[in-house]
């Protein structure tokens, strides 16, 4: 065994899914604590990581406000701050499991992570700007630029931008620190949004401007990419932005194709998350024919994954076994058996099989 490889043969550290711009995923089977260490936290970029000078950096707050202003990095760090633990999952996490193969970064299980984020609560900034009464959304604009890949293509370079409904502003942080360290360039330094309970694309990195909007934002990453076809009130097809995390669980250990000793006791280990509270995780060792309750390791905490375990009495009969886990949340939502094609190559939360060999 190579020294930088673990027992599974998967290298330690992040797995490169795309070199330029860097798109890197965690090896989920190495899941350990609730918090994902910064050097193991997945990286999802659409465009090259921008180079930003902290001395000259300004964050603008404007749009439908009475007092538009801009603020420098040092001043932002003197404002009232909060620290919150939040799980981020990329909406494309699990894409490799789609059949037929879907275009896009081939994420396996590791486009997810949990960190303690520190920053200025968004209402502090909005209060200072004095937002108008008719504001319905807050738009986050960023510094990174490029030409996106999905049709219909915009006329030229664009920057990454997403909006949130105003109701979510209360929970949103304008973060400058991650697990007690200054944000790394790849995670959005100097400042990024952290929007709890939403897929990762809402948490815009390298913020240039926070803008109050009196009508919904319809930009590329809101309606072309990271959106799906739903219906408006009259039943006409309409693009709906992806937002809430769907209920999901993943098995970290054993990993795919692991060889397990017949008759032993194996502690199956994983995590589960949802926008609502995860209330139950079940485990199956017979490809989903029968299910038993798994035990939670963590108490429920809003917008933070819950680790779980199941002490599996491994059969004495040698052969292939298909393991599955499935989570249910406080809205009564449960993981489906199949991917909902409506969501294309996003929001992949169906029950995933882990095949192991008992010997
Ligand atoms: N400016 C900007 N913000 C961005 C992105 C981006 O490409 N540019 N990617 C988004 C997506 S799709 C995800 S999943 C998260 C990933 O955050 P991370 O790279 O810190 O894990 O950032 C979001 N914020
Ligand atoms: Mo993402």
Ligand 1 pocket check for 222: Cβ under 6 Å? no
pLDDT band at 4 (very low <50, low <70, confident <90, very high): very low
Mean pLDDT of the chain: 96
- Tell how far the Cα of 18 is from the centroid of ligand 1, in angstroms: 14
pLDDT at 2: 37
pLDDT in tens, 234-251: 999 999 999 999 999 999
pLDDT at 133: 97
Ligand 1 pocket check for 272: Cβ under 6 Å? no
Mutate to test the pocket of ligand 1, among 143, 150, 200, 208 (most ligand atoms within 8 A of CB): 200
Question: Structure tokens of 336?
Answer: 């489906």
Q: Which of 9-18, 48-57, 129-138 has the lowest mean pLDDT?
A: 9-18
Ligand 1 pocket check for 84: Cβ under 6 Å? no
Q: Which ligand is nearest to the CA of 200?
A: 1
Asked whether the predicted pLDDT for residue 326 surpasses 80, the reply is yes
- Tell how far the Cα of 284 is from the centroid of ligand 2, in angstroms: 29
* Cα distance from N-terminal residue to C-terminal residue, the chain: 21
- Tell how far the Cα of 145 is from the centroid of ligand 1, in angstroms: 13
Question: What is the set of domains in the chain, with CATH numbers?
Answer: 14-241 (3.90.420.10), 248-358 (2.60.40.650)
- Tell how far the Cα of 203 is from the centroid of ligand 1, in angstroms: 6
Facing residues of 251 across strands? Answer: 270
Would you call 71 helix, strand, or coil by DSSP?
Answer: strand
Asked whether the predicted pLDDT for residue 3 surpasses 80, the reply is no
Mutate to test the pocket of ligand 1, among 18, 26, 144, 203 (most ligand atoms within 8 A of CB): 203
Percent of the chain with pLDDT over 90: 96
CA 208, CA 192: separation in Å to the nearest integer?
9
Beta carbons of 251 and 351 less than 8 angstroms apart: no
Ligand 1 pocket check for 206: Cβ under 6 Å? yes
Question: Structure tokens of 15?
Answer: 């797995």
Which atom of ligand 1 approaches the CA of 44 most closely?
19
CA 25, CA 5: separation in Å to the nearest integer?
16
pLDDT in tens, 86-113: 999 999 999 999 999 999 999 999 999 9
Mutate to test the pocket of ligand 1, among 38, 90, 93, 348 (most ligand atoms within 8 A of CB): 90
- Cα dist from 235 to 222, 228, 238, 292, whole Å: 20, 15, 9, 41
- Tell how far the Cα of 200 is from the centroid of ligand 2, in angstroms: 5
Residue with tokens 């990453």: 221
Q: Which residues of 97-133 are buried (b: 16+ CB within 10 A; e: fewer)?
A: bbeeebebbbbbbbbbbbbbbbbbbbebbbeebebee
Which atom of ligand 1 approaches the CA of 89 most closely?
14
Of 103, 122, 96, 278, nearest in space to 192 by CA: 122
Give the global pTM. Answer: 0.96
């Amino acid at each position: 065994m190579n020294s930088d490889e673990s027992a599974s043969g998967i290298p330690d550290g992040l797995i490169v899914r795309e070199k330029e711009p860097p798109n890197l995923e965690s090896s989920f089977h190495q899941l350990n604590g609730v918090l994902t260490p910064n050097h193991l936290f997945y990286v999802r970029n659409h465009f090259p990581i921008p180079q930003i000078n902290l001395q000259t950096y300004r964050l603008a707050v404007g749009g439908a406000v009475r007092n538009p202003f801009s603020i420098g990095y040092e001043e932002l760090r003197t404002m009232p701050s909060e620290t919150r633990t939040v799980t981020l999952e990329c909406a494309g996490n699990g894409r490799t499991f789609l059949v037929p193969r879907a275009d896009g970064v081939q994420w396996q299980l590791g486009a997810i992570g949990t960190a303690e984020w520190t920053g200025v609560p968004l209402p502090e900034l909005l209060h200072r700007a004095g937002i108008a009464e008719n504001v319905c959304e807050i738009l986050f604009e960023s510094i990174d630029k490029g030409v996106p890949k999905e049709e219909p293509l915009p006329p030229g370079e664009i920057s990454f931008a997403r909006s949130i409904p105003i109701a979510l502003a209360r929970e949103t942080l304008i973060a400058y620190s991650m697990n007690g360290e200054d944000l790394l360039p790849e995670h959005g330094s100097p400042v990024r949004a952290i929007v709890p309970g939403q897929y990762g694309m809402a948490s815009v990195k390298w913020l240039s401007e926070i803008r109050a909007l009196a009508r919904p934002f319809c930009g590329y990453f809101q309606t072309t990419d990271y959106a799906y076809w739903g219906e408006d009130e009259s039943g006409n097809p309409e693009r709906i932005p992806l937002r809430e995390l769907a209920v999901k669980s993943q098995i970290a250990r054993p990993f795919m194709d692991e060889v397990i000793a017949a008759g032993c006791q194996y502690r199956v280990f994983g995590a589960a998350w949802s926008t609502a509270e995860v209330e139950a995780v079940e485990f199956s060792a017979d490809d989903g024919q029968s299910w038993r309750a798994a035990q939670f390791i963590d108490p429920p905490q809003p917008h933070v994954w819950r680790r779980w375990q199941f002490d599996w009495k491994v059969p004495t009969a040698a052969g292939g076994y298909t393991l599955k886990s499935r989570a249910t949340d406080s809205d009564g939502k449960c993981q489906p058996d199949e991917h909902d094609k409506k969501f294309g190559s996003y929001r992949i939360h169906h029950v995933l099989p882990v095949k192991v060999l008992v010997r």
